[in-house]
Structure 1
Amino acid sequence: MTTVGILGGGQLARMLALSGAPLGLRFLVMDTEPDACAGQFAPLLVGDYRDQRALAEFASKIDVATFDFENVPAESAQWLSERVPVFPNPRALAVIQDRLAEKTLFRETGIPVPQFVDVASREGLEDAVATISAPCILKTRRLGYDGKGQFRIKSEGRATIDAAWKALGAQAETVGLILEAFVPFERELSVVAVRGRDGEFRTWPLTENWHVDGVLSASLAPARVDDALAVTAFEYAQRLAESLDYVGVFALELFCRDGRLLANELAPRVHNSGHWSFEGAETSQFQNHLRAVLGRPLGATTMRGHACMLNWIGELPDADAVLRVAGAHWHDYGKSPRPGRKVGHATVRADSTTVLAQALRRVGEALGRQAQVAPVVEALAGAAS
Structure 2
Amino acid sequence: MMLLPRVAIIGNGQLGRMLKQAGAPMGLEVIPCDPSLDEPVALNPDDVVTVEQELWPDTPRSRQLTAHPGFLNARATQVIRDRLSEKSLLDHLKIGTAPWCNITADHTTEHLALVGEKLVIKRRQGGYDGRGQWRWKQGEPALDEWLGECIAEKMIPFEEEVSLIGARGHDGKCVFYPLTLNLHQQGILHASVAGLPRLEPLQATAEEWLTRIMVELDYVGVMAMECFVVDGTLLVNELAPRVHNSGHWTQAGANPSQFGLHLRAVADLPLHTPQIHGISVMWNLLGRDWSTDWLAVPGCDVHWYDKEIRPGRKVGHVNLNLPNHALLQDSLNQLADLLPEDDRSPLLWALREIQADSPA
Q: TM-score, normalised by structure 2?
A: 0.92
Specify which of 22, 26, 34 is matched with residue 23 of structure 1.
26
Q: Which shows bigger deviation, 363-372 or 345-354? A: 363-372
Structure number with higher helix proportion: 1
Cα separation, 2, equivalents of 1:125 and 1:340: 35
Determine whether 1:109 maps to 2:109: no
Q: Against the structure 1 CA distance between its residues 279 and 145, is the aligned structure 2 distance closer, same or farther, given a 3 Å change threshold? A: same
Number of positions where the alignment pairs a residue of Structure 1 with one of Structure 2: 353
- Report the equivalent of 2:68: 83
Give the CA deviation at 1:125: 4.6
Q: CA deviation at 1:178?
A: 0.2
CA distance in 2, matches of 1:171, 1:10: 30
CA separation of 1:293/1:137 partners in 2, compared to 1, >3 Å: closer, same or farther? same
* Cα deviation 1:159-205 (Å, max 9, x = unaligned): xx35xx2xxx43644xx210000111111000000111111110011
* Alignment partner, residue 371 of structure 1: 345
Q: In the TM superposition, what is the alpha-carbon distance from 1:103 to its structure 2 partner? A: 0.9
Question: Which sections of structure 2, spanning at least 5 residues, go unmatched?
Answer: none
Alpha-carbon distance in structure 2 between the residues aligned to 1:360 and 1:62: 46
Aligned to 2:283: 310
**How far apart are the structure 2 equivalents of 1:290 and 1:144?**
27
The Cα shift of 1:79 comes to 6.3
Verify: 1:141 aligned to 2:105, yes or no.
no
Structure 1 residue corresponding to 2:251, chosen from 278, 285, 295:
278
The root-mean-square deviation of aligned C-alpha atoms, in Å, is 2.1
Change (3 A) 1:58 1:118: farther
State the one-letter code of the partner of 2:357. Answer: A
> How much does 1:58 deviate?
4.8
SS in 2 for 1:225: helix
Whole-Å separation in 2 of the counterparts to 1:64 and 1:265: 26
State the Cα distance separating 1:83 from its structure 2 match: 2.8
* Structure 1 equivalent of residue 326 of structure 2: 354
Gaps of 5+ in 1: 33-45, 49-53
In the alignment, which residue of structure 2 is the partner of 1:93?
77
Residue number among 156, 169, 188 corresponding to 2:138 in the alignment: 156
Residues 20 and 31, structure 2, Cα contact 8 Å, conserved in 1:
no
Q: Distance in 2 between matches of 1:137 and 1:267?
A: 19
Identical-pair percentage:
37
Which of the numbers 342, 354, 363 marks the counterpart of 2:314? 342
Cα 1:273–1:260 change in 2 (3 A) is same
Code of the aligned partner of 1:374: L
Counterparts of 1:232-251 in structure 2, within 5 Å, are 232-251=205-224
In structure 1, distance between residues paired with 2:186 and 2:177 = 26
Report the residue type matching 1:353 in the other structure: H
* TM-score for the superposition, normalised by structure 1: 0.86
- Find the counterpart in structure 1 of residue 9 from structure 2: 6
Amino acid at match of 1:17: K
